[in-house]
Amino acid sequence: MRIVLLGPPGAGKGTQAKVLSNNLKLAHLSTGDMFRDAVKSGSVAGKKLSEYMQQGLLVPDETVNEIITQKLKDESIQNNFVLDGYPRTLPQAVELDKFLKSNKIPLDYVIYMQASEDVVISRLTGRRVCEKCGYNYHIKNIPPKKSGICDYDGAELYQRKDDEEETVRRRWKVYSEQTALLIDYYAGKAILREVDGDLDVDALNKYLNALFQNENLS
Ligand code: AP5
């Protein structure tokens, strides 16, 4: 199964991609995670990426396309992947299509996780991340047992720089201007399915599981 998760920042793409990846045995390809790893490594490329990310701006298309096409050249994942956060612009979607077509591996579904601005702003500004295992908490919705400490490894939680309110609002604007148009692009290809990203994690997960079960049966 080849799936793209599309939606605004904070719609829950990463959260659902992890579950789908476990349930359906898919490689989880998150451009945001790849870039954060590069930033952590302290490399020159990572420093450059961090400049875009901290401002809530998109990394240039050529950089993102190169990273993803390199990953998708791996034949062991070509038939089973979930793309989380890519494509995010029209040139990225066109490049992805070109690559998939030349390798005869068409996408099965693009899941558009529709979510409202108020909901995602509250989710992202309240998010706290474990510095060790990367688990995502939310100060109200998914609080750790002990404030500021990860339940799983006792490491400290931090707030992503791009989760500060001003940057979250910019990320929303960038999404509206550069990514939302992909909804029409994929609707035209008849592989788009829409889900309500405002639902809570479990409800959304149940909905997606049911969707894939029904799609597989049909
Ligand atoms: P990236 O890390 O991909 O960020 P994003 O897509 O902007 O947003 P998030 O990952 O924060 O949201 P999400 O939808 O995955 O939600 P999540 O499950 O995490 O990208 C970061 C940056 O990298 C970009 O700004 C850009 O600079 C660069 N970049 C990445 N890809 C790029 C590309 N293709 N092109 C160019 N640049 C690129 O959940 C968020 C929070 O909400 C968590 O706390 C979670 O616990 C909680 N939550 C999740 N689901 C629910 C729910 N249903 N109910 C309640 N809370 C929930």
Active-site residue, 13 included:
yes
At 175-195, the pLDDT tens digits run 999 999 999 999 999 899 999
Residue 160 belongs to a domain: no
Residue to substitute in 13, 15, 88, 90 for testing ligand 1 pocket (most ligand atoms within 8 angstroms of CB): 15
Distance 105 CA to ligand 1 centre (A): 26
Active-site residue, 2 included:
no
**Average pLDDT in the 199-218 region?**
80
Please give the pLDDT value at position 217: 46
Domain that holds residue 14: 2-115+172-217
Residue 70 belongs to a domain: yes
Strand order in the sheet with 81-84: 27-30, 81-84, 2-6, 109-114, 192-196
> How buried is residue 204: exposed, middle or buried, by Cβ count under 10 Å (0-12/13-18/19+)?
buried
> How buried is residue 122: exposed, middle or buried, by Cβ count under 10 Å (0-12/13-18/19+)?
middle
Residue 28 belongs to a domain: yes
Distance 10 CA to ligand 1 centre (A): 5
Distance 121 CA to ligand 1 centre (A): 11
Instruction: Enumerate helices (H) and strands (E) in the chain, giving the number of each.
Output: 9, 8
Q: Into how many domains does the chain fold?
A: 1
Residue 154 belongs to a domain: no
Active-site residue, 193 included:
no
- Looking up residue 203, the CATH number of its domain turns out to be 3.40.50.300
Write out the two tokens for 194: 């829409």
Under a CB-based contact definition with an 8 Å cutoff, are residues 173 and 143 in contact? Answer: no
At 51-73, the pLDDT tens digits run 999 999 999 999 999 999 999 99
Residue 132 belongs to a domain: no
pTM of structure:
0.95
Residue 108 belongs to a domain: yes
At 111-140, the pLDDT tens digits run 999 999 999 999 999 999 999 998 999 999
Residue 24 belongs to a domain: yes
Residue 141 belongs to a domain: no
